[in-house]
Chain A
Amino acid sequence: MHLTLFKTILRDQLHRPWLTLLLILSVALGVAVVVAVDLANASATRAFQLSTEVIVGKATHQIVGGANGFDDSVYRNLRLQGFRNAAPIVEGYAGAKELGGQTMRVLGIDLFAEPPFRTYITAGTNVDVNALTAFYTQPGAVLISADSAARYNLKVGDTLTLQIGTQKKPVTIVGLMRQPNEVSSRVLEGLILTDIASAQELFGLDGKLTRIDLIATDEQANKIAAALPEGLRLVRASEQADTVTQLTAAFQLNLTAFSLLALAVGMFLIYNTVMFSVVQRRRMLGILRCVGVTGREIFLLIMSEAALLGLIGSLIGLGLGMLLGRLTVALVTQTINDLYFTLTVSDVNVDAFSLVKGLLLGISSALLAAALPAYEASAVPAVTVLQRSDLEDRIRRLLPRLNVIGAVLIVIGAAILIFGQSNVALLFGGIFIALFGLVLYVPVVTIFLMRIATATLGRFGLIARMASRTVTQALSRTSVAIASLMVAVAVVIGVTVMIASFRSTVENWLAQTLNADFYITTPLAGANRVVTMDPALVEKARAVEGVQNIEVLRSVTVRGLETGDLRLNATQGGVARESRIFRSYSGDPSKIYEQLNAGAIAITEPFANKHHVAEGDTLTLLTDKGAQSFPIVGVYYDYSSDQGSILMSLDVYRKFWNDPKISGFSVYVAPSYDVNQVEDAVRVALSGNDVTVQSNRALRDAALVIFDRTFAITRALQVIAIAVAFIGILSALMALQLERTRELGTLRATGMTLRQLWRLTLLESGLMGAAAGILAIPVGLVLAAILIYVINLRSFGWTIFFTSVPEVYVQALVVSIGAALIAAIYPMVRLSHLQVIEALREE
């Protein structure tokens, strides 16, 4: 590339800083969103891996058992047989008020078995010998990370009050853990380390272990597995970790898809900006062509400019993304904690790979978006024949072809959505393709809408007619702006309708299934976390006057032969009371509960979808009494977990598992009693035990709070998409005006007032906004339908009942037209500064 040639472009950029800024900003915004989401995902994943590394250490296998741990003789026997690469673990979760109320993982270890496995305290002089001695001998002695201690102003000798199950237990900090490496020290922040004896005492697991870590060859592992008592199983450590990461895969992918959507809208914007700059430079490009610059050189010129600005924008986007990442990581972590597993991510882990990815995405999308304008620039005729752009003619001639391509893309997208199974990445690919297909219809629909506008508005005078004609005549600019705004608004409609439908479905479900008057759980209860409560509390509550009935729940993780780890909910005899809405069942629906009491199980809808099982099938579960088959009698709706769960009668559960503990219970108040009074009385009866008593209403609200929190990040992304689209409309309007400077000058010269020109601009912009809004409604509905009937059903396994949200359509129109009108303000300001004489002189 000739240097002088490049100067023409670079100096031009400097002459129009706001345009340059707009392009850079559009790249930066898109990249920032992608990077932020990616960083959040990567941080969550990395945090999970690190905590796995810390928790699992170098273990190759693990021996795991039932919800209540297993007898420690298993470990003793291993040791006494001379197998020394084994470490006993007693593990649980506890809240710690002094640590900001976060849920901590309490890991009980045997110092002498640890060295081959984990290094957090054994590496070097992390923890001094006095601390280790206290740790080893003193009941309730714990180590926490030095960082946590610093953050919460704690020091050695301080007491922590651990919330374990229904009880509060004081422990003493005897030492602080440090890691040489910043990343791994972060993981320690979620960890309370204690001696295994203390852990047994804290969790009431005397004589029991929750896990044994092993470093074993396959041969050794097989031998050990063969000798394990019923109810225990040996798993590969990596397998355990994989299962957990898979939990969040769909969720994280959804986020990524939304972030890519923001980038896609950003691409429209880049297209607009580059097109704008090409339009502005037509004259200069024409001169260049005249003096012998080839079309190819001009193409390269525009592309290298886009690459350069794309690079700058991407770099800014990376910075912005890292800042934004702090916000998203909090949202993502919160959701993961709400829905999946306990995860401590206190900081954004800036992953080089995410950054490189963001950079490449930014530059390549800038190039992709600039390709068409650059091509147009290369086709700019030499200056002497400079006439009104023939691009519009070309576009119009292209229209039939665009429509055909659009139709093909829609068909392909639909095919992917129909046949794409449950591969979320593929399904989102399908959405993108179909959406792009729909976008290609924007020009033709715009022409049609403008015709209607001309016919209806035309009556209001020349200016109105001019406005609608301008939109049609400058189709190459306007249709892209309309399309980007339309996509953004359609996404908002789609997601809003989906979330609203989902929410009302969940609300209905909660209303129909939560029948008890109030619920007693432990403060730490949460999704996929096994919590344990003393069964004696049930009797205490039952003794309260006015309590008519109590239903006990035991919720544990068990192993299914075909399905891997799964959540089992066992409820007492009166299963029937807690009504479940069955999607499908075998046999007599009124007999389902009898069948359950006789040993059958029911499964939730996500479980059925995830594991491809249904009524009539059987599941084999590894019980404390060995492998047992359970027939499935029905599939019921459940929105509490995308992993699904199975339902069993508590009596059946206790028959096969040696587990007298419970996870919570619900209370039904006798008709003649006041619910609030009984609730208070139960509270009093259970005082001294730290239990959470939640009314039916409160529980429902709590569930919906989590629901809303889950979708918080989705909403945040929507806002960004709208912002990007807004800038798109703005730059399209600017391009339009610039292109028509002479025309506008003429209009002014021939007597049109500034006010009239403003009206013209507002009308044009408003018409574009209205077109985008009108188009967005059907597209948004299609999107909502896809999200509801395809994505959610296939990737999460939830049936959502479509709820129409009429106000969203009004909202869509208001947002589109509003955004367009606001975008018109700056061009209007510029109009006021229009120098009529100079405008006229322009070619």
Chain B
Amino acid sequence: MRRIIVVISVLAIVSIAAFFYWQSQQRAPVATEIVALQSAQGAEGFARVTEPREMQFPQDHGPHFDYQTEWWYYTGNLTAEDGRRFGYQLTFFRRGISPGVVTARASDWATNQIYFAHFAITDEKNNSHNEAEIFERGAAGLAGASGEPFHVWIDNWSATGSNPDASAVKLLADDAKMALDLNLNASKPPVVHGENGVSQKTETKGNASYYVSFTRMPTTGTIRINGENFSVTGDSWFDHEWGTTALGENAAGWDWFSIQLDSDQELMFFQIRNKDGSIELLSSGTLVEADGSTKYLKRDEVKISVLDTWTSPVSGGKYPSKWRVEIPSANLDLTLTPLIADQEMRVSFTYWEGAVDVKGTSNGKNVRGQGYVEMTGYGNARGDVGY
């Protein structure tokens, strides 16, 4: 869910920031400007998430062109044979400028879709975090998405289903400094988040998304970082979310957590922070038990305390960097520590997305685990002067 907020919030501000950004970075500002437009303009004509949806897999893993925004989000914690720890993120975003797909034009290149992707690898040993971003038009075979067979790609970055129900995928991404080639195989069925399958963001009807995850996908493959290849294994987490949504005007940013515990439980929770410092009432989460059963978590069931902070030397943003997450109703008490402090994503818009280590107790027993945390709205530079 949280990424919706990433995109939308970002979009709103980038149009202002783009000029300065362009001057300093010389990167794809056109795309961000176009994308930015979307927050300014309404989402007229697009379908909105108002009703529960009967998910049809595998086609619902594919694109939903009636909705404005959609993404496929892979994160994971990996370990090399020598025990060296890595985190990765590979995200594909789709943005529709108008509903539906273009069919009436002679040129293959005609489109109303913009695709962009973020790719990052965290290397704990070298205390390094690299990120990359690409944009592409959703046409001419350069970028696109399909459900059957499952395939999402931009240039040579892709997620390709290895079986018909898309529970197994191959991820490929390649950039100057890094690359990955991973095979993911879900060990649990897909989870549909939200109350009755609708992940509500604010009280306004339609400010919501459909949100589907594979919360645990055992992963093997190789990654390359700075010219060095590593065989890795680990667990990935896949989110697929779509909707036509805008945040409330009060929102300042959000925090999102995905946690995989060695008790074979998984936890997703997000909270939207308001400008007045309060937490949006509709913040929520999902607990997945070892048997695959899920429990919807309301905001007041989860208590999150910030234990430490880190200030980005680049953006100047002051981020939480250690948390205690307490869920008495599930008998969970966890402490989250980032793998490395600086996992800030400095792409067209700045946010923090990084691998964390988890320790704590579940039902009174000691548990360990790992996860990914995303935070926006902390920076006071560039794209994240929160909304």
A residues lining the B interface (CB < 8 Å):
72, 75-76, 79-82, 84, 110-112, 114-116, 121-125, 129-130, 132-133, 136-137, 139, 195-198, 200-201, 206-207
Contacts and interface: CB of A to CB of B under 8 A. Distances in A.
A389 to B, nearest CB: 72
B144 to A, nearest CB: 11
Nearest to A202: B107
Contact of B33 (A75, A132, A139, A198): A132
B154 to A, nearest CB: 9
Given A72-B140, A80-B156, A124-B23, A129 B105 contact: no
Given A129-B15, A133-B37, A79 B142 contact: yes
B119 to A, nearest CB: 12
Contacts of B29: 115, 122
Given A115-B28, A123-B22, A124-B19, A129 B36 contact: yes
A80 B31 contact: no
A139 to B, nearest CB: 6
Contacts of A133: 34, 37, 41, 97
B137 A76 contact: no
B304 interface: no
Interface stretch (B108-116, B191-199, B223-231, B290-298): B108-116
B347 to A, nearest CB: 14
Contacts of A206: 106-108
Given A111-B31, A136-B34, A122 B22 contact: yes
A201 B134 contact: no
Nearest to B136: A112
Given A201-B105, A206-B108, A129 B40 contact: yes
B141 interface: yes
B27 to A, nearest CB: 6
The 6 closest A-B pairs by CB, nearest first: A82-B156, A197-B110, A197-B109, A197-B107, A129-B37, A200-B107
Contacts of A110: 109, 137
Interface string B77-111: 00000000000000000000110001001111111
Nearest to B18: A125
Contacts of A80: 141-142, 155-156
B100 to A, nearest CB: 12
Contact of B31 (A112, A125, A197): A112
6 contacts: A72-B108, A80-B142, A129-B34, A129-B37, A132-B34, A196-B109
A76 B18 CA distance: 28
Given A115-B28, A200-B106, A82 B34 contact: no
Given A76-B141, A122-B22, A132-B33, A139 B156 contact: no
Nearest to B113: A137
Contact of B137 (A84, A112, A125, A130): A112
Contact of B37 (A130, A196, A198): A130
Interface string B106-142: 1111111010000000000000000000111101111
Nearest to B139: A197
Contacts of A197: 105, 107-111, 139
B137 A124 contact: no
Given A80-B142, A110-B137, A200-B107, 20 more contacts: A72-B140, A76-B142, A80-B141, A82-B174, A84-B155, A111-B137, A112-B31, A112-B135, A112-B136, A122-B22, A123-B22, A133-B37, A136-B97, A136-B111, A137-B97, A139-B110, A195-B109, A196-B109, A201-B105, A207-B107
Contact of A198 (B15, B28, B107, B140): B107
B33 A124 contact: no
A271 B265 CA distance: 103
A817 B82 CA distance: 103
B21 to A, nearest CB: 11
B41 to A, nearest CB: 8
Interface residues of B, number: 40
B26 interface: yes
Given A110-B137, A129-B33, A132-B30, A201 B107 contact: yes
Contacts of A116: 26
Nearest to B27: A115
Nearest to B155: A79
Contact of B30 (A82, A112, A198): A112
Given A76-B140, A197-B107, A206-B106, A121 B134 contact: no
Contacts of B156: 79-82
Contact of A137 (B22, B27, B31, B111): B111
Contacts of B23: 124
Contacts of A114: 30
Contacts of A196: 107, 109
A121 B19 contact: no
A200 B110 CA distance: 9
Nearest to B153: A80
A81 B136 CA distance: 14
Nearest to B116: A112
B110 to A, nearest CB: 4
A136 B40 CA distance: 17
A111 B142 CA distance: 13
A72 B109 CA distance: 10
Given A76-B142, A123-B22, A84 B134 contact: yes
A526 to B, nearest CB: 27
Contacts of A123: 22
Interface in B159-178: 174
Contact of B109 (A124, A130, A200): A200
Contacts of B40: 129
A783 B106 CA distance: 60
B134 A207 contact: no
Contacts of B15: 129
B244 to A, nearest CB: 16
Contacts of B97: 133, 136-137
Interface in B1-43: 15, 18-19, 22-23, 26-31, 33-34, 36-37, 40-41
Contacts of B136: 79, 112
Contacts of A75: 140
Give the interface centre of B29, B30, B107, B156 by most chain A CB atoms within 10 Å. Answer: B107
Contacts of B107: 196-198, 200-201, 206-207
Contacts of B18: 125
A124 B36 CA distance: 14
Interface in B27-85: 27-31, 33-34, 36-37, 40-41
B112 A137 contact: yes
Contacts of A115: 26-30
A112 B133 CA distance: 12
Contacts of A72: 108-109, 140
Contacts of B137: 110-112, 136
B108 A121 contact: no
Contacts of B108: 72, 197, 200, 206-207
A837 B29 CA distance: 88
A431 B217 CA distance: 85
Contacts of B105: 139, 197, 201
Contacts of B142: 76, 79-80
Contacts of B141: 76, 80
B180 to A, nearest CB: 13
Nearest to B109: A197
Nearest to A205: B107
A114 B28 CA distance: 8
